[in-house]
Amino acid sequence: MMKRIHWTLILAAGLLAACSAPSATRPKAGPDRTLARPVAITADHAPDQIVVGYRDPADLDAVLKALGGGRVLKRIDALKAALVELPAGLDASHALGRLRGNKVPGLRYAQPNFKHPLPKPQGAAAVQSLNDPLEAQKWDHDVMQAAAAWATDVDGAGTQPDGTGVVIGVVDTGIDGTHPDLTGAFVNGYDATGCLGLPNDVIPPGYDASQGQFIHGTHVAGIAAARGNNGLGVAGVAYNATLMDLKVFCGQFASDFAIADAITAAITDADGDGVVPDVITMSLGGKGYGQVLKNAIDSALTGYNVVTGDVLTHYDDGTAGGTAGDGVPDRTVTITVAMGNSYQDEVEYPAGYPGIIAVGATNARDEKADFSTSGAHISVSAPGVDILSTWPTWTGQFYYRISGTSMATPEVAGAVALVKQFLPGASAYEVRRLLEATADDLGPAGFDRGTGWGRINLKKLVDQVHDVLAGTAGTEAGGTAVVTVATQNYGVPVPYSDVQLLQGGVVKYLAKTNDNGQAIFTQIAPGTYDVMVAGEDVTDANAWALWPFERVSWDADGDPSNGVTLGTLAVNPGGTLAAPDALTATLNSTVKVTLEWDTGTDLDLAIWEYNPSASGFQWSTAKTGGLWGTFSGDADGSSTPASESYTLNATHLPTPAVGYYRISVDATNATSDAYATLTLTMNGVTKSFGPIPIAAGSDPSTNFWNILTALLDAGAGFWNAAVAY
């Protein structure tokens, strides 16, 4: 039986869509309908591509139509995501603004295709010969007590830890599978770039996927799982584990979409060989939070496809005493990610996603490596300076030393494999806590932002696993939380919002809401958290309107640093995606709009409002009265300056799932042309726009598009100011 997670807001949104079709009074589409405020993108991304989430593949036709062209380059059907190449002349910033503004049917989300640069080694040492006794030169193994760990009888039956039976997916540049110290290590891999030109993008065992130009992936793979006891070169931490080559680099950057594609192909067994990873390691990172990659990671961490709610079939296999095929995952994937080499205290992704084991680097003096990125999300550290490992054979060198958190991360991935060998059903959080509890503390006592809980100790780790198997020690279960952000009117989901879980004023985890308004936190520490929400107001996220570009977190001074605390959430151990700890955070807005003009003619402030009784929309003015707000009075212009205002009475603008609302001017009663000013105060922030030319006799539908055109023609300064305000 397949078990499905039911998301309640999907049903709610669907009901609204069914009963809320726009009325015939909606302004007609025209050339100006393509105008939209560009979305500010601060992280590196592909300028000619975007990633979109869809509900049905047929919905992609509507996406391309809204963009004015383009083409779908690739789909990840399991995640209902597609990579779209934009039409000539349209960049990602304007494309995202256009899609947000046009309410494309079936569009779940749209995001930049963020780019993750190929990590640069932080230094290199002398080349080593293939026949040298290289393991004796592995200082990293010495400090982690690898030899002592490998000699340990973990299960009391003489079984020693070497990673047997564990599959490590290496998301990287592609591995030279012909290297003699990696021979026999591989199962089928996957090329998410398509650069290798292999049938169905399947990388067969023993294939050189490094393209004769990339060294990074081969070096990473050897650190995790170079063959041991074979009389050659070095040994990996888990020297008998299996490697799955997941290639995401074809040039100097890997994209969000390619990484998500590789992870999804691996965990869904896209090649059909029945093999899926137990561990995934990623020695890469960059700026930019992307929903497509978050969905792929959450699916791996939970054993569920978080987009469809279906269990991942190959993880429902009866592991650790579970029942195969009952719709409940029996094992999941543990993911290790490099913190980065920025020398800074900051967050890069994917290391910053909840549930990840984020890894820092240490040197031979057991100190934090100076280049290693710091942050509250770090878990543990591992040796990452002058690490000797496999080097592609086409270089003629075979082994080399380089440095970086890229090198520390596969050390930890190998350590995870030693745990998974004996505790295959252990969750990502259980594995993480085993690593943290057995690490050698460095720097300030306890956790610190530079080295986390310390540098991993393999001997202490496998001794703890022995105790768990013997029943003299236990593991610590993590929790899962889902925070839903919605409006108080109609419960409309608010996507793109930042949801932070804090303890003692410190942000512990951050996730953004998806198209259903849900922020997913899985494999996190149990405890009570303050929940803070910050993000675009639903006015910008769900509709195209003349409201200022505001965030619900902004105070009267326009300070975006303070979020809105919407309650506390207790996260209990053992929660799953099927039964998470949950909190629904409902938002409200304060809105006042004022129209002013100084010509002796009759203008009317017009608000495009949703009318539930008519299941449609109407232009409301002071002459007709408001549905969701109050007009100050009907000014006929007989005395100047004249003004009319509208104040929202509801707790939030009542935009149903398919709705729009707009601000405009009705000049059908005007006897002469006029110039008007619109002043908007929203959530305590005030902005004024104008003077705006208004033609006598013009209706609000015409003026809405004319106002947009006039503001765009006024130059980029207006839009930049709106975005940065």
Domain residues for 632? 591-724
Q: Whole-angstrom Cα distance, residue 362 to residue 372? A: 8
Same domain membership, residue 336 and residue 196: yes
Distance of CA 689 to the CA centre of its chain: 35
Out of 14-28, 99-113, 345-359, 557-571, give the one with best mean pLDDT. 345-359
Out of 460-474, 611-625, 694-708, give the one with best mean pLDDT. 460-474
Same domain membership, residue 174 and residue 86: no
pLDDT of amino acid 202:
98
Structure tokens at 347: 């967050």
Give me the mean pLDDT over the 621-644 stretch: 91
pLDDT band at 24 (very low <50, low <70, confident <90, very high): very low
pLDDT tens digits along 269-325: 999 999 999 999 999 999 989 999 999 999 999 999 999 999 999 999 999 889 999
Kindly state whether residue 189 falls inside one of the protein's structural domains. yes
Active site residue 216: yes
Position 246 pLDDT exceeds 90: yes
- The single residue of 162, 172, 208, 316 carrying the catalytic annotation is 172
| Helix or strand (DSSP H, E) at 401 | strand 399-402
- The single residue of 216, 377, 466, 652 carrying the catalytic annotation is 216
**What is the share, in percent, of the chain residues with pLDDT greater than 70?**
83
Bridge partners of 483, per DSSP, are 519, 583
Instruction: Name the domain boundary from 450, 470, 490.
Output: 470
Position 673 pLDDT exceeds 90: yes
What is the CB-side half-sphere exposure of residue 566 using CA atoms within 13 A?
Answer: 25
Kindly state whether residue 15 falls inside one of the protein's structural domains. no
Are the CB atoms for 373 and 423 separated by under 8 Å?
no
**Average pLDDT of the chain, as a whole number:** 85
Q: Domain with 47 in it: what CATH number?
A: 3.30.70.80
Q: Whole-angstrom Cα distance, residue 325 to residue 2? A: 7
DSSP class of residue 136?
G
pLDDT of amino acid 550:
42
Same domain membership, residue 307 and residue 197: yes
Same domain membership, residue 113 and residue 145: no
Is it true that the peptide bond before 444 is cis, omega within 30 degrees of 0? no
Same domain membership, residue 139 and residue 111: no
pLDDT tens digits along 33-78: 444 567 878 889 999 999 999 999 999 999 999 999 999 999 999 9
pLDDT of amino acid 9:
23
Q: If you write DSSP's letter for every residue of 602-646 in order, what string do you get?
A: --EEEEEEEEGGGTEEEEE-TTT--SSEEE-----SSSSSEEEEE
Q: Whole-angstrom Cα distance, residue 83 to residue 52? A: 7
Kindly state whether residue 475 falls inside one of the protein's structural domains. no
Same domain membership, residue 241 and residue 109: no
Same domain membership, residue 108 and residue 189: no
Q: Domain with 391 in it: what CATH number?
A: 3.40.50.200
pLDDT tens digits along 181-237: 999 999 999 999 999 999 999 999 999 999 999 999 999 999 999 999 888 999 999
Contacts of 425 (CB under 8 A, 6+ apart): 319, 320, 321, 322, 330, 331
Kindly state whether residue 502 falls inside one of the protein's structural domains. no
Kindly state whether residue 95 falls inside one of the protein's structural domains. yes
Q: How many CB atoms lie within 10 A of CB 644?
A: 21
Same domain membership, residue 98 and residue 159: no
Kindly state whether residue 435 falls inside one of the protein's structural domains. yes
pTM of the model: 0.84
Are the CB atoms for 531 and 564 separated by under 8 Å?
no
DSSP class of residue 493?
B
Same domain membership, residue 186 and residue 90: no
Give me the mean pLDDT over the 639-662 stretch: 71
Same domain membership, residue 193 and residue 70: no
234, burial (CB in 10 Å: exposed 0-12, middle 13-18, buried 19+): buried
| Helix or strand (DSSP H, E) at 414 | helix 405-422
Which residue in 134, 125, 143, 120 sits closest to 362, CA to CA? 143
**What is the share, in percent, of the chain residues with pLDDT greater than 90?**
66
What is the CB-side half-sphere exposure of residue 608 using CA atoms within 13 A?
Answer: 29
Same domain membership, residue 54 and residue 176: no
Number of domains observed in the structure of the chain: 3
- The pairing of strands 604-611 and 591-597 is unpaired
Kindly state whether residue 61 falls inside one of the protein's structural domains. yes
Instruction: Name the domain boundary from 451, 470, 489.
Output: 470
Position 674 pLDDT exceeds 70: yes
Instruction: Name the domain boundary from 426, 450, 470.
Output: 470
Kindly state whether residue 231 falls inside one of the protein's structural domains. yes
**Which has more confidence, 486 or 76?**
76
Position 609 pLDDT exceeds 90: no
pLDDT tens digits along 153-170: 999 999 999 999 999 999
- The single residue of 210, 255, 406, 701 carrying the catalytic annotation is 406
pLDDT of amino acid 37:
65
Are the CB atoms for 36 and 110 separated by under 8 Å?
no
pLDDT tens digits along 319-361: 988 999 999 999 999 999 999 999 999 999 999 999 999 999 9
Out of 435-439, 496-500, 703-707, give the one with best mean pLDDT. 435-439
Same domain membership, residue 318 and residue 286: yes
Q: What angle do CA 49, 50, 55 make, to 5 degrees?
A: 140
